[in-house]
A and B are shown apart, each in its own frame.
Chain A
Amino acid sequence: MLQFLGRLHILVLHLPIGFLILAFLMELATRRSALALRPAVGFSLFWGMVSAVAAAAFGYLLSLDGGYDEELLSWHKWLGFATAGLSVALYIFYKKNAASSLFLSFFTATVLVLAATGHFGGSLTHGSDYLFSDEKSDATAAVPIANLDSALVFEQVVLPVLKAKCGNCHNPAKRKGGLVVLTKEDLLKGGKNGPAVVPGKPDSSLLLKAIHLPLEEKKHMPPKGKPQLSDTEKQLLDWWLKAGAPFDKTVAAAAMPAALRSALQAATVAAAPSLLDGLKLDPVSEGKLKSLRSEGIQVFPMAAGSPFLQALFSGKKDLTAGQLNKLKPIANNIVQINLANSNVDDAMLAIVKEMPHLNRLHLEQTGITDKGLANLADLQYLEYLNLYQTKVTDAGFAQLQSLPKLRSLYLWQTGVTTDGVAKFVSQKPDIFIDNGIKNDSMFGEVALKAPMIKASKELFNDTVHVTLESGFAKANIHYTTDGKEPDSTSAVYKEPLVLSASGR
């Protein structure tokens, strides 16, 4: 019964907040404008007082259950009592002299104490960093694993699962059932029903029991309605406990079964983290992008909802420095710019100096020279640079030395030499350079189809115009009109023939 009343705290606690703040607003309105709301202030205040006392009492009962962070709880408890006490005093004050300015000051103080109580209460249920943390999913964000074999079984594989699926209630601030799952010590210690993890004894480990109970069961964890463990995650925890709950071993050393390993591989070793993943930028408003697009500047988010932008100018032969300068206000967000096959030149390329986060740059088929590459010197995030069919030479490599992250460089049909490429690769070993196919001898010759012979009519009296057509304009057509098989020494077709006599 007491436990039931304690749980009513969650319901009742919202009432004094509403009643007291409503009373406060009506009091302000009575004083500022001539709205005669004072009788209503008393009514609202009365119920505020009753619900505040009830909330404090129920809250006290709930706190007896335990499982809360002691320090936060103590603040919340005493402030809650203070709110209840203050609201009673406030109601008595109201009855005596509601019009005095002291009443308003007293009322203000009560509302402030109420706010503080609410804040600590919120911290108790949602965690103290709930209000100001950037990402709600912080706790679930698993650290990407580069290599599963060398990953630590507990820290990098098991813990992220516990954190994501159990950590919302079983954390140091909330301690549901006295259990915290986030460290080795806490798991071995367990909660009020005993240790959660007994190394090597999966059958007596409460953790496994809780997750394998049917969903309808009251003791099933995570509780119905909360995100459940996936099959792979359950298998992982089973194996981990059976293997003696290794805390410090790597996956390879702990001999994980192949099936589980490949399932985890697919689930955890997702895409290699991109350089931009850790980067947080303020998004540019869609309105701003739209207005730029209406001016002919093609800027789009990299993906739906992404703060990163791409700018597309490929094929534009009438590009001006003025147009590119319009990118300046959003330059911080641009991670990709495509200037391929445009009239961009070394001077216009200066715009990329404004783009500190530029990651991919398309300059292929432009008039860019070694000199223009100097504009790229400070691009700390540049990973991809396409320079094919430009005028860059080996001298340009000097300008690219300072790019720390450059990974892919395309240099086909430029002035660079094989030696120059080899030298640059020896200086920056993790770079990939595509210099194009230098040797086409592995491909056979193209085969032309027989040309089409077109005449204006089949039978003719005096003369007829005959055209010879090949699907391929660069092909030479040799012909004879005497019925012999044409070869490369025969006449070359240049213009329609006029025939005046039939062959055979």
Chain B
Amino acid sequence: MGAWLSYGLGSENENLPAFVVLTSRGGGNSQGLYAHLWSAGFLDSAHQGVLLRGGKDPVLYLNDPKGMEQADRRRFLDNLAELNHQTYDELGDPEILSRIKQYEMAYRMQTSVPEVMDINGEPDHILKMYGPDVVTPGSFAANCLLARKLAEKGVRFIQLYHQGWDQHSNLVDEMGMQAKQVDQPSAALILDLKQRGLLDDTLVVWGGEFGRTNYCQGPLDAKLYGRDHHPRSFSVWMAGGGIKPGFEYGETDEFGYNIVKDPVHIHDFHATILNQLGLDHTKMTFKHQGRRYRLTDVSGEVVKGILA
């Protein structure tokens, strides 16, 4: 989605990527996160997400090595670009041009990224709002604060991954811990965007890729039980960005097993998000292997019922 938006909307800030990824580790049983989750797929690789890490060194290998000065780096890049251009003239592979662009972006990011990732300039009352973890680099709270800063700087799409939701067992403790880690920061992000007047044109989406069963998995123990994957029905929430606030859309049966009213398919969901960003999901296409592809493939309807 971020890559498609980078493709469809371009970047608003030439010093920062259009699609930024921040990850945090929860208290639950962490599963791996792989860079292909925010890769550009078959889109131009210039649109892939850039992972920023908390702490001193937000992008690995971005800083100049010891003994190399900014001017050296500049000359090095200029010469490299010349070589790359020669190869491009020879082979005509557009990936080479993307690569030149990436090097240039990395060069500009050397100064822009540390600046935006530094939360020391934030006043105390803002820090307090995001909760106790906010000063711990790499926490969900810190990432929420950074997300706000990145949004202010014009980054189009900021994706926060928080790991540790896969409670096949030991659900009670772990889920409590996970929820505590995300609850206050999520609310603070909305509040903070709102008081800055940014919530009108920023869409906050909070969700996962599937839900959990309504029945138990593993031993039926008051504390240690778990729940399995349940893709039939689950919820997400959205805030700002022209979405109607304070109501629910769609309904499941009384067991939460299946949908009985107003189902929203992932394509509908994508179509709606694109719509709110000024893009017609039926018109934004990318030609790949002889066919024009859409983010929503061949289906998807804008969910009018949730628009403000």
* Given A298-B12, A449-B136, A440 contacting B279 (CB threshold 8 A): no
Residue of A nearest to B242 (CB): A271
Tell me if B132 and A440 are in contact (CB < 8 A).
no
Tell me if B280 and A304 are in contact (CB < 8 A).
yes
User: Within the complex, what minimum Cβ distance (angstroms) separates B245 from chain A?
Assistant: 12
Residue of B nearest to A447 (CB): B132
Tell me if A472 and B154 are in contact (CB < 8 A).
no
Tell me if A410 and B153 are in contact (CB < 8 A).
no
Which residues between 269 and 317 of chain A lie within 8 Å of chain B, taking CB atoms? 270-272, 298, 301-306, 312, 314-315
Tell me if B307 and A408 are in contact (CB < 8 A).
no
A380 adjacent to chain B (CB < 8 Å): no
Contact of A266 among B54, B195, B304 (CB under 8 A): B304
Bound complex: CA A443 to CA B283 (Å) = 45
Tell me if B128 and A271 are in contact (CB < 8 A).
no
Tell me if A303 and B279 are in contact (CB < 8 A).
yes
Contact of A434 among B127, B194, B279 (CB under 8 A): B194
Mask of A385-397 contacts with B, CB within 8 angstroms, 1/0: 0101000000000
Tell me if A410 and B196 are in contact (CB < 8 A).
yes
Residue of A nearest to B128 (CB): A443
User: Within the complex, what minimum Cβ distance (angstroms) separates B154 from chain A?
Assistant: 6
B131 adjacent to chain A (CB < 8 Å): yes
Bound complex: CA A305 to CA B12 (Å) = 19
Residue of A nearest to B262 (CB): A266
Tell me if B307 and A270 are in contact (CB < 8 A).
yes
Bound complex: CA A66 to CA B296 (Å) = 48
B160 adjacent to chain A (CB < 8 Å): no
* Given A304-B283, A408-B200, A437-B129, A388 contacting B304 (CB threshold 8 A): no
Tell me if A437 and B304 are in contact (CB < 8 A).
no
Tell me if A315 and B154 are in contact (CB < 8 A).
yes
User: What residues of chain A lie closer than 8 Å to B196, measured between beta carbons?
Assistant: 364, 386, 388, 410, 412
User: What residues of chain A lie closer than 8 Å to B228, measured between beta carbons?
Assistant: none
Tell me if A444 and B195 are in contact (CB < 8 A).
no
Tell me if A271 and B154 are in contact (CB < 8 A).
no
Residue of A nearest to B134 (CB): A446
Which residues between 331 and 372 of chain A lie within 8 Å of chain B, taking CB atoms? 340-341, 360, 362, 364
User: What residues of chain A lie closer than 8 Å to B236, measured between beta carbons?
Assistant: none
Contact of A312 among B12, B283, B308 (CB under 8 A): B12
B65 adjacent to chain A (CB < 8 Å): no
For the complex, count residues of B whose C-beta is within 8 A of A: 39
User: What residues of chain B lie closer than 8 Å to A474, measured between beta carbons?
Assistant: 120
Bound complex: CA A449 to CA B133 (Å) = 8
* Given A271-B307, A472-B135, A446 contacting B279 (CB threshold 8 A): no
User: What residues of chain B lie closer than 8 Å to A298, measured between beta carbons?
Assistant: 12
Tell me if B135 and A471 are in contact (CB < 8 A).
yes
Main secondary structure of the interface of A (DSSP, over half): loop
* Given A443-B128, A446-B135, A271 contacting B194 (CB threshold 8 A): no
User: Within the complex, what minimum Cβ distance (angstroms) separates A267 from chain B?
Assistant: 8
User: What residues of chain A lie closer than 8 Å to B195, measured between beta carbons?
Assistant: 388, 410, 412, 434, 436-437
Residue of B nearest to A437 (CB): B195
Bound complex: CA A143 to CA B200 (Å) = 26
* Given A266-B305, A434-B194, A314 contacting B120 (CB threshold 8 A): no
Residue of B nearest to A444 (CB): B132
Tell me if B12 and A443 are in contact (CB < 8 A).
no
A473 adjacent to chain B (CB < 8 Å): yes
Tell me if B55 and A271 are in contact (CB < 8 A).
no
A448 adjacent to chain B (CB < 8 Å): yes
B207 adjacent to chain A (CB < 8 Å): no
User: Within the complex, what minimum Cβ distance (angstroms) separates A402 from chain B?
Assistant: 21
B137 adjacent to chain A (CB < 8 Å): yes
Tell me if B154 and A314 are in contact (CB < 8 A).
yes
Bound complex: CA A41 to CA B12 (Å) = 63
* Given A271-B304, A315-B154, A472-B120, A304 contacting B278 (CB threshold 8 A): yes
B94 adjacent to chain A (CB < 8 Å): no
Tell me if B129 and A384 are in contact (CB < 8 A).
no
A459 adjacent to chain B (CB < 8 Å): no
Tell me if A445 and B197 are in contact (CB < 8 A).
no
B36 adjacent to chain A (CB < 8 Å): no
Bound complex: CA A474 to CA B12 (Å) = 31
Bound complex: CA A472 to CA B305 (Å) = 44
User: Within the complex, what minimum Cβ distance (angstroms) separates B58 from chain A?
Assistant: 13
A11 adjacent to chain B (CB < 8 Å): no
User: Within the complex, what minimum Cβ distance (angstroms) separates A270 from chain B?
Assistant: 5
Bound complex: CA A214 to CA B147 (Å) = 55
Residue of A nearest to B120 (CB): A473
Tell me if B136 and A471 are in contact (CB < 8 A).
yes
User: What residues of chain A lie closer than 8 Å to B132, measured between beta carbons?
Assistant: 444-447
Bound complex: CA A472 to CA B118 (Å) = 9
B182 adjacent to chain A (CB < 8 Å): no
Tell me if B127 and A446 are in contact (CB < 8 A).
yes
Mask of B41-59 contacts with A, CB within 8 angstroms, 1/0: 0000000000000110000
Bound complex: CA A434 to CA B199 (Å) = 11
Tell me if B304 and A440 are in contact (CB < 8 A).
no
Tell me if B278 and A388 are in contact (CB < 8 A).
no
Contact of B137 among A265, A266, A471, A475 (CB under 8 A): A471
B72 adjacent to chain A (CB < 8 Å): no
Mask of B188-213 contacts with A, CB within 8 angstroms, 1/0: 00010011110011000000000000
Contact of A446 among B131, B154, B284, B304 (CB under 8 A): B131
User: What residues of chain A lie closer than 8 Å to B197, measured between beta carbons?
Assistant: 362, 364, 384, 386, 388, 408, 410, 434
User: Within the complex, what minimum Cβ distance (angstroms) separates B249 from chain A?
Assistant: 10
Contact of B152 among A341, A437, A440, A471 (CB under 8 A): A341
Tell me if B304 and A303 are in contact (CB < 8 A).
no
User: What residues of chain B lie closer than 8 Å to A360, measured between beta carbons?
Assistant: 200-201
Bound complex: CA A474 to CA B195 (Å) = 24
User: What residues of chain A lie closer than 8 Å to B299, measured between beta carbons?
Assistant: none
User: Within the complex, what minimum Cβ distance (angstroms) separates B261 from chain A?
Assistant: 9
* Given A388-B196, A410-B196, A472-B120, A272 contacting B154 (CB threshold 8 A): no
Bound complex: CA A123 to CA B283 (Å) = 33
Which residues between 239 and 283 of chain B lie within 8 Å of chain A, taking CB atoms? 242, 262, 278-280, 283
Tell me if B154 and A312 are in contact (CB < 8 A).
yes
Bound complex: CA A362 to CA B154 (Å) = 13
Tell me if B120 and A444 are in contact (CB < 8 A).
no
Tell me if A443 and B131 are in contact (CB < 8 A).
yes
Mask of A443-481 contacts with B, CB within 8 angstroms, 1/0: 111111100000000000000000000011111000000
19 A-B pairs in the complex with CB atoms less than 8 angstroms apart: A265-B305, A266-B262, A271-B242, A298-B12, A304-B279, A341-B152, A360-B200, A364-B196, A410-B195, A410-B196, A437-B125, A444-B132, A446-B127, A446-B128, A446-B133, A446-B135, A471-B54, A472-B120, A474-B120
Where the two chains meet, the residues of A that have a C-beta atom closer than 8 Å to any C-beta of B are 265-267, 270-272, 298, 301-306, 312, 314-315, 340-341, 360, 362, 364, 384, 386, 388, 408, 410, 412, 434, 436-437, 440, 443-449, 471-475
- The 8 A-B pairs of least Cβ separation, nearest first, read A410-B197, A303-B278, A447-B132, A386-B197, A472-B135, A440-B125, A443-B128, A436-B195
14 more CB-based (< 8 A) A-B contacts, given A303-B278, A474-B120: A271-B242, A271-B304, A298-B12, A304-B283, A314-B12, A315-B13, A360-B200, A364-B197, A388-B197, A440-B128, A446-B131, A447-B132, A449-B136, A472-B119
